[in-house]
Amino acid sequence: MRDVNKDMEYRTVREISGPLVVVEGVHGVAYGEVVKIKGGDGRERLGQVLEARKELAILQVFEGTNGLDTKNTSVRFTGETMQIGLSTEMLGRVFDGSGRPIDGGPEIIPDIRRDINGAPINPSAREFPKEFIQTGVSTIDGMNTLVRGQKLPIFSASGLPHNELAAQIARQAKVLGQKEEFAVVFVAMGITSEEANFFRRDFERTGALERSVLFLNLADDPAIERIIIPRMGLTTAEYLAFDKGMHVLVILTDMTNYCEALREIAAAREEVPGRRGYPGYMYTDLANIYERAGRIHGKQGTITQIPILTMPDDDMTHPIPDLTGYITEGQIVLSRELHRKGIYPPVTVGACLSRLMQHGIGKERTREDHADVANQLYAAYAEGNDLRNLVAVVGEEALTERDKKFLKFSDIFERRFVAQGKDEDRSIDDTLNLAWELLSTLPREELKRIRKEWMEKYYPKKG
Amino acid sequence: MEFEDGIITRVAGPVVEARNMKGAEVYEVVHVGDEGLIGEIIGLKEDMATIQVYEETSGIGPGEVVKRSGAPLSLILGPGLIGQIYDGIQRPLPTIMEKSGDFISRGVTADPIDFDKKWHFVPVVEKGKKLVGGDIIGTVQEGAVVEHRIMIPPGISGEMDEIVSEGDYTLKDAVAKLKTADGLKDVFMYQKWPVRHARPVKKKLAPGEPLVTGQRILDTFFPMAKGGTAAIPGGFGTGKTVTQHQLAKWADAEIVVYVGCGERGNEMTDVLREFPELVDPKTGKPLMNRTILLANTSNMPVAAREASVYTGITLAEYYRDMGYNVALMADSTSRWAEAMREISGRLEEMPGEEGYPAYLASKLAAFYERAGKAVLEGTEEKVASISVIGAVSPPGGDLSEPVTQNTLRIVKVFWALDTALKERRHFPSINWLRSYSLYLDAVKSWWQKEVGEDWFELRNKAMGLLQKEAELQEIVQLVGPDALPPAEQATLEAARVIREDFLQQDAFHEIDTYCPPKKQYMMLKIMLEFRDLIMGAVRKGVEIGKIKKLKCKGDLSQMAKISNETYEKEFTEMSVRMRDEIGKLVKGVEQ
């Protein structure tokens, strides 16, 4: 680091606009360094250099610019990039958007300090994720399998039970044959205190809290903090996983609020906007968060990410879900239609995908017939759904016997396979056996996607 | 040469401005700040230079120095490239890992290829021979498969003054001396070449041979030619990456360059771990022996992502110049375009459509133009090709966006991925009604000669059937399938066989993942025979219900999964059974 006069205080704020502060006459300022900004009210806020010019710096202020003015505000440059102190003592604790404990407990004595921006994992150092995580949710385990080291977002919308589903996954997730439970890093961005309390209570109820680290930025906290809070959470996760050998599940909610904060800064900087006003670099920015999941060759721990986002107007082509889908390894999509039918979790499997499923299932991982059964479920359900549209036009009487069976299949599939209790933890065998039971309502010769040997071995015997 | 240092005046993300840079050139490589981060000059104004930096710029500030290198971003081209994995600016990632650990830290550098490794050089020319750029002076065995041909670099010519005898040499040793107009010149086993300049060829030719990929819908319906250009646009999850991986694995190119441009880290790992294990059907050796990987994942610096496609195509050109047919896969060109947009935005340039810079179209065109089949430089007449297949990731799956549109204006093959097909798990989710290939006529004669006389007719017949099916489906949506006349119901049955059993292909099935051309042809022939037979049967009065229950449909659905060694025999038996079964039905009504 270059020498910076840490005691130098600048009182040369020229402009305050939204979350940004422009300071003049500065020397030796570096891009990305942390600044401390003190307002006339005496309160110190954290900020970061967004642009460093000769004699001028543009800062983003994380704790909001309320109470700052151009006359009494003083700015101090620290010469350091944004860092967080880390320790295993963080497990069981709750922090705010600046990394300060807010659970009434003592300060953390850090074991090590790390730059919250992290560094990209060298692709050569990565290990391919293929250990099956049993979430106990049939639509995920059976058809969109999650593996350790994957990033699998939940695409939801306002009013849908994504929080319940995320909590259920956090509670039930386990790797078969291993006792060790996941450590959970929970990062809240702009969610309501009610939602945050839901998670906190749920973690407490199930005893998960003591192996969890919570970072909370609630709806009434400064929006700009949402830019750094996921990075603090992920730096903590990297420490727990790659330094301490733990398997970490990171839940980020709600990424939509994160992107709104990103847009707010871009707008304040008068940048050229991309689609729907979001900045052109949003893809890269999101990638810097999502890509911090994975496994590293020779390291014991892993990071699995479940980001949650609410699709504005249920629109999957909106830039936030769209860019997310391009980075993550699949998506779990919740549907309002299923929710209205009273089905929990309302996972609409047609739109879902897990890109890493192929490698996490099959013999010795889940069960040899898993891939074929999943394909067959998809195909049969899609066909049944098509028939529903047809029935709407021509009526059920016009269908052939075969088609009627498919139509019926899609109903029982939703009611029995998709739907399950909020505390119902189905093993992968239960899930696959249930799938066979449902598939056997279809004519046997229609199960084309399943190879003969599995048909003989697993097809339920009548009577 | 010594240059004066520049002084940084502004840092904003990957863009840095510096003064005192008079005399610097656009695209010159510079080292930025105290840590010496690698960057490239992208704009000059009086003594100010605008620099894009290939690494994260946190901690860099005004007042630090910029050191000039005097040369544009260039690659080291020589033996040792094959089997490597590089980032966007040819830094070898495994070596970087040894140096800086599991995470890529800043300012780490490493030689792209090992200058101390000894290679067994076999000279192929003698002293006194007159040579020009592109002529081969010797060979080196690079890995298990590739014969690396050492060439006189483009633009140099003269008389061979001295050449070493067969033996082991490193890249530091001069293997020959050439008497040129400017005096004696040492020739090494490697060359340097600036990435943003196409390596010269004598003449571009029209492509004529197919690039066989073993993917039925591609080879049979929308063929790619060696030296051609193709685009695969599709929303997320439609299978761009799986298709690109399949092409990298099975395309019958001699060298494959795979550019992972701004994509997922885990997917690159998949390639990294899988390719050394997969066996090339032609050579029997691991696929890695013909592959170069470039990995600039989405969280690696955006400027290096911008450079990665140029790095990829330059590597491809170098192997083409040796006389090889090279295939380059770029996944995804949209991320490349976005990198351009991001940098353009930081430069505060006037944006074009959707914030992309106004030069997007010309950059895309210039990149694809580096593909092609060509007569190579050199004394002897040699022909080789580069095929480029670019994935495009349109936001929201909307193909009207600028990157897709500008790409489609250039490329000759369009493989349209379709979200609706993906949702019903029809893979590969390539829409057969929207895709096209302008190389059909060019590759027709190869198929007719090598595979089957009637290939083109069969292909068109099948295409016609699928087209007809789409029309009938519209009616079915209104009135239900049973209201159609029997002949049309039979058409639907036949089309369904083509759609489900021919167009669908399981990339993860050990046999189905690669379908040889002859097998494709025979499958299609039998399936079309099925169509003719059932149409005939229905015309003779066989009930459609009986047609729908035919056992031979089960046979047809298993064809793709029959071993690539024994399929000819089994297919013949299968078609006999099919004729028997349908023949019996017909006899049944005739009696």
Q: How far apart are CA A323 and CA B336, in angstroms?
A: 15
Question: Cβ of B266 and A294 within 8 Å?
Answer: yes
Domain segments of chain B as ranges: 6-72, 119-189, 202-330+369-437, 451-590
β A44-53/A13-17 pair status: unpaired
Q: How far apart are CA A315 and CA A276, in angstroms?
A: 13
Q: Residue B328 — φ and ψ, nearest 5°?
A: -120, 130
Cα dist from B484 to B477, B543, B570, whole Å: 11, 13, 35
CATH hierarchy code of domain B451-590: 1.10.1140.10
Which of the pair, B413 or B282, is modelled with greater confidence? Answer: B413
- CA atoms within a 13 Å half-sphere pointing along the CA-CB vector of B77: 28
Q: Residue B353 — φ and ψ, nearest 5°?
A: -60, 135
Token pair listed for B409: 């204006």
Q: How many CB atoms lie within 10 A of CB A440?
A: 15
- Which residue in B540, B431, B542, B545 sits closest to B481, CA to CA? B545
* Residue B457 contacts A where some CB pair is shorter than 8 Å: no
Query: Judged by CB atoms within 8 Å, which residues 515-574 of B form the interface with A?
Result: 554, 557
Contact by Cβ (8 Å): B275, B268 = no
Q: CATH number for the B119-189 domain, one of 2.40.50.100, 3.40.190.10, 3.40.47.10, 1.10.1740.10?
A: 2.40.50.100
Contact by Cβ (8 Å): A126, A294 = yes
Q: Which of A52, A123, A375 is the closest to B272 by Cβ?
A: A123
Token pair listed for B511: 């046999």
Q: What is the DSSP letter of A16?
A: E
* Residue B481 contacts A where some CB pair is shorter than 8 Å: yes
What value does the mean pLDDT take over residues A235-247? 96
In DSSP notation, A27-77 reads: -S--TTEEEEEE-TT--EEEEEEEEEETTEEEEEETT--TT--TTT-EEEE
Q: How far apart are CA B327 and CA B211, in angstroms?
A: 9
Q: How far apart are CA B342 and CA B52, in angstroms?
A: 11
- Residue B389, pLDDT above cutoff 50: yes
In DSSP notation, A148-186 reads: TT-B--EEE-TTS-HHHHHHHHHHH-EETT--PPPEEEE
Q: Which of A33, A283, A389 is the closest to B59 by Cβ?
A: A33
Q: How far apart are CA A242 and CA A127, in angstroms?
A: 13
For B299-318, give the secondary structure using H, E and C: CCCHHHHHHHHHHHHHHHHH
Token pair listed for A311: 């699709």
- A296 by Cβ neighbours in 10 Å (0-12 / 13-18 / 19+) ranks as buried
Query: Judged by CB atoms within 8 Å, which residues 65-124 of A form the interface with B?
Result: 81, 115, 117-124
* Residue B335 contacts A where some CB pair is shorter than 8 Å: yes
| Interface predicted TM-score (ipTM) | 0.86
| DSSP β-bridge partners for residue B229 | B388
- B19 by Cβ neighbours in 10 Å (0-12 / 13-18 / 19+) ranks as middle
Question: Cβ of B297 and A398 within 8 Å?
Answer: no
- pLDDT exceeding 70 applies to what percent of chain A? 98
Question: Cβ of B61 and A383 within 8 Å?
Answer: no
Q: Which of B235, B269, B508 is the closest to A126 by Cβ?
A: B269
Question: Cβ of B97 and A330 within 8 Å?
Answer: no
Cα dist from A10 to A49, A72, B62, B355, whole Å: 14, 10, 17, 36
Q: What chain B residue is nearest to A243 in terms of C-alpha separation?
A: B102
What value does the mean pLDDT take over residues B239-255? 91
Mutate which of A122, A327, A377, A399 to disrupt the B interface (most B C-beta within 10 Å)?
A122
CATH class of B202-330+369-437: alpha beta
| pLDDT of the residue at A462 | 66
pLDDT, tens digit (0-9, with 9 covering 90-100), for B455-503 = 999 999 999 999 999 999 998 888 877 788 999 999 999 999 999 999 9
| DSSP β-bridge partners for residue B556 | none
Please give the angle made by the CA atoms of A108, A112 and A116, to the nearest 5 degrees: 90
Task: Give the number of residues written for chain A.
Answer: 463
What is the fold of B6-72?
Answer: Elongation Factor Tu (Ef-tu); domain 3 (2.40.30)
What value does the mean pLDDT take over residues A369-391? 91
Lowest pLDDT segment from A393-402, B186-195, B495-504: A393-402
Q: Which of A54, A121, A284 is the closest to B265 by Cβ?
A: A121
Q: How many distinct helices (H) and strands (E) make up chain A?
A: 13, 22
Q: Residue A79 — φ and ψ, nearest 5°?
A: 75, 5
Which chain B residues are within 8 Å of A118, Cβ to Cβ? 103
Question: Cβ of B348 and A272 within 8 Å?
Answer: yes
* Residue B97 contacts A where some CB pair is shorter than 8 Å: yes
pLDDT, tens digit (0-9, with 9 covering 90-100), for B504-557 = 999 988 899 999 999 999 999 999 999 999 999 999 999 998 998 899 998 998
Give the sign of the dihedral formed by CA A347, CA A350, CA A353, CA A358.
Answer: positive
Q: How far apart are CA B468 and CA B471, in angstroms?
A: 5
When pLDDT is cut at 50, 70 and 90, the band that residue A389 belongs to is: confident
Q: Please enumerate in sequence order all residues whose Cβ is within 8 A of that of B457, keeping only pairs 6 or more positions apart, or say none.
A: none
- CA atoms within a 13 Å half-sphere pointing along the CA-CB vector of A312: 11
**What is the least distance, in Å, from the CA of A42 to any CA of chain B?**
28
Name residue, tokens 């967004």. Answer: A50
- Residue B272, pLDDT above cutoff 60: yes
pLDDT, tens digit (0-9, with 9 covering 90-100), for A4-20 = 556 688 999 999 988 89
When pLDDT is cut at 50, 70 and 90, the band that residue B584 belongs to is: very high
| pLDDT of the residue at A5 | 59
Q: How far apart are CA A291 and CA A327, in angstroms?
A: 8
For B562-577, give the secondary structure using H, E and C: CCCCCHHHHHHHHHHH
- Which residue in B206, B61, B157, B68 sits closest to A3, CA to CA? B61
Lowest pLDDT segment from A157-171, A175-189, B562-576: A175-189
Q: How far apart are CA A333 and CA A163, in angstroms?
A: 13
Q: How many CB atoms lie within 10 A of CB A328?
A: 29
- B234 by Cβ neighbours in 10 Å (0-12 / 13-18 / 19+) ranks as buried
- Which residue in B434, B441, B442 sits closest to B463, CA to CA? B434
Provide the mean pLDDT of chain B: 92
- Residue A2, pLDDT above cutoff 60: no
pLDDT, tens digit (0-9, with 9 covering 90-100), for B21-74 = 998 988 899 999 988 898 999 889 999 999 989 888 888 999 999 999 999 999
What value does the mean pLDDT take over residues A224-231? 92
Q: How far apart are CA B447 and CA A439, in angstroms?
A: 42
Quote helix, strand, coil % in chain B, to nearest 5. Answer: 35, 25, 40
| DSSP β-bridge partners for residue B328 | B257, B388
When pLDDT is cut at 50, 70 and 90, the band that residue A1 belongs to is: very low
Packing angle of the helix pair B333-346, A282-290 (nearest 10 deg): 120
Question: Cβ of A280 and B9 within 8 Å?
Answer: no
Q: What is the DSSP letter of B73?
A: S
Task: Give the number of residues written for chain B.
Answer: 591
| pLDDT of the residue at A289 | 96
- Which residue in A283, A356, A306 sits closest to A156, CA to CA? A306
| DSSP β-bridge partners for residue A294 | A303
Name residue, tokens 């079915």. Answer: B476
Q: How many CB atoms lie within 10 A of CB B177?
A: 18
| pLDDT of the residue at B134 | 94
Q: Please enumerate in sequence order all residues whose Cβ is within 8 A of that of B294, keeping only pairs 6 or more positions apart, or say none.
A: B85, B86, B87, B88, B257, B258, B259, B260, B261, B308, B311, B312, B315
β A302-310/B119-123 pair status: unpaired
Q: How many CB atoms lie within 10 A of CB B122?
A: 13
Token pair listed for A386: 């098509």
- Residue A463, pLDDT above cutoff 50: no
Q: How far apart are CA B298 and CA A406, in angstroms?
A: 42
β A247-253/A302-310 pair status: parallel
* Residue A51 contacts B where some CB pair is shorter than 8 Å: yes
Contact by Cβ (8 Å): A390, B477 = yes
β B146-151/B191-194 pair status: unpaired
| pLDDT of the residue at A224 | 84
What value does the mean pLDDT take over residues B379-391? 95
* Residue A400 contacts B where some CB pair is shorter than 8 Å: yes
Q: What is the dihedral of CA A377, A369, B266, B340, to 10 degrees?
A: -30
Q: How far apart are CA B383 and CA A323, in angstroms?
A: 42
